[in-house]
Amino acid sequence: MNKRLSKGVLACLLLLAQLCFTYCVAQEAQPQGQNNEPAAAQRGPHIAQLSISGPIGPATTDYLIRTSDKARKGGARLFIVNMDTPGGLDAATRDIIQHILASDIPYVTYVTPAGARAASAGTYILYASHVAAMTPSTTLGAATPVQIGGMPGQQEPPAKAPEVSEDKAGEEGEQNGEPKKRERDPGSAMERKVVNDSVAYIRGLAHRNGRNADWAEKAVRDAATLTAREARAENVVDIVADNQQQLLQQLADRDVILPSGKQKISGTIAELPVVSYEPDWRNELLSLITNPQVAYILLLIGIYGLIFEGYSPGAIVPGVVGIICLLLAFYALQVLPINYAGLALIIVGALLIAAELFVPSFGALGIGGVVALVIGSVMLIDSDVPGMRISKTMIGSIAAISGLALLGFLYAVGRSLRKPIVAANQAMVGRTAVVSVVEPELLVKIDGEIWRARCDNLLTEGQLVKVTAEQGLLLQVVPE
């Protein structure tokens, strides 16, 4: 059995290696015109076009930094980042901003196409860019840190008290014989710390590039938003362009602030070829693994795989799959904003469900495991960023599958308890066997087991027989 499983694992690994080799060969054999980075563009000056689409996470940071370094070595003179994002993780956003601020090549962040947005984290990146541009019918703003909304069950902050003028406050204080204390802003100290830190951060970015710092603060404190035309009028963005060609024309001879000082974008920048740098397979894989839904599934597969391997030593496949999935899940979770209490509840829930199979608790362990699994799944990802949460549909599906499996197990246990008790020395009576050897000794096979047998009739190999009596390790059989 173990040998067959080992051969199966080896065959799977060989197949995976063959698929990777075939993919690499196909990439090398691609026509030059289909390559994302043509050789001609790599050898000479060009404009590198990057893209940020969807929630900003670790995969976005990896793609932007690695691809821009590659484009810089290939002769890029300008980076255009087409952006459409609902927001993203704070750590990933700050890494991208630090990379942009340290770049010696101008970054132009362009909110496009029409209908796109640079919300939340996208607003910070837009303010950090050397040139901020938007397409008409796009929006930006709503940059309030969303994780300060509190944990489930937390009370809402009290409504802000009406403002009182200093004169009136002084009169009231004199009437009471005590000086009047100023009202503090609502919200906990942690909320105020996070908001104030974000305000200082985005105001610093605004001052660096000469943009509207007051509106930036309003976007953080009040979640304010603007359309492209309004943003241009408020000096939040530098350019509003219908398409990339108009953008390049307006970029000509524009001054930008780089680490080395103020520089001017070439007046002939529009004449350079634009090369699109798409995410490669490594970035696609990283994006897939760090998706909260995929990380959640990998975590469950890894836990159950190791549990099954522990209860069936030598099975190999569950252990191999479990270790690989668990390592991938831990890699994804260490770059995602997770709640460790939720992670612990998921592990405990899986262990309780597995323990139900071996401990006669009549469903108590299993039900507790399902409850712990569901609560832990809800708490696991500590983020309100769209696209960075585990969907309730998936959590419900996992809970339903676990519950049905538990009910099926309890039903099977109930059926086995209702079966009549059979003596151990009569367990084979009435079973059907297959004759495997006739001479020199009659041997029959039952469910893969070889038994010595005796029969008063002549039998042939492969013939079906029925067990009529059991005497120790010797069976009495008759032809069916």
User: CA–CA separation, 108 vs 265, rounded Å?
Assistant: 11
Give every CB contact of residue 49 below 8 A, 6+ residues apart in sequence.
Answer: 80, 82, 274, 275, 276, 277
Q: How far is CA 374 from the centre of its chain?
A: 18
How many other CB atoms are there within 10 angstroms of residue 183's CB atom?
Answer: 12
CA distance linking residue 85 with residue 116, whole number of Å: 8
Per-residue pLDDT tens digits of the chain, which is 480 residues long: 444 444 444 455 455 445 444 544 444 444 433 344 444 344 589 999 999 998 898 889 999 999 999 999 989 999 999 999 998 888 889 999 999 999 999 999 999 999 999 999 999 999 999 999 999 999 999 988 865 333 333 344 444 444 444 444 444 444 444 444 444 454 578 788 889 999 999 999 999 999 999 999 999 999 999 999 999 999 999 999 999 999 999 999 899 989 988 899 888 888 899 999 988 888 888 888 888 888 888 988 888 888 788 777 777 888 888 899 989 888 888 877 778 888 888 888 888 877 877 776 777 888 888 888 888 888 887 666 666 778 888 888 888 887 887 788 777 777 776 766 656 667 778 888 988 888 888 898 888 888 888 888 888 888 888 888 888 788 888 888
Distance of CA 341 to the CA centre of its chain: 18
pLDDT in tens, 346-366: 888 888 877 877 776 777 888
302 alpha-carbon distance from chain centroid = 16
Which residues have C-beta within 8 Å of that of residue 165, sequence separation ≥ 6?
A: none
Question: Under a CB-based contact definition with an 8 Å cutoff, are residues 390 and 377 in contact?
Answer: yes
- Integer angstrom CA distances of residue 65 from 133, 141, 238, 372, 429: 21, 24, 24, 39, 72
Q: Alpha carbon 308 to chain centroid distance?
A: 25
- Nearest Cα residue to 206 out of 90, 118, 123: 123
Contact 453, 438 (CB under 8 A): no
Task: Give the burial class of 260: count Cβ atoms within 10 A of its Cβ; 0-12 exposed, 13-18 middle, 19 or more buried.
Answer: exposed
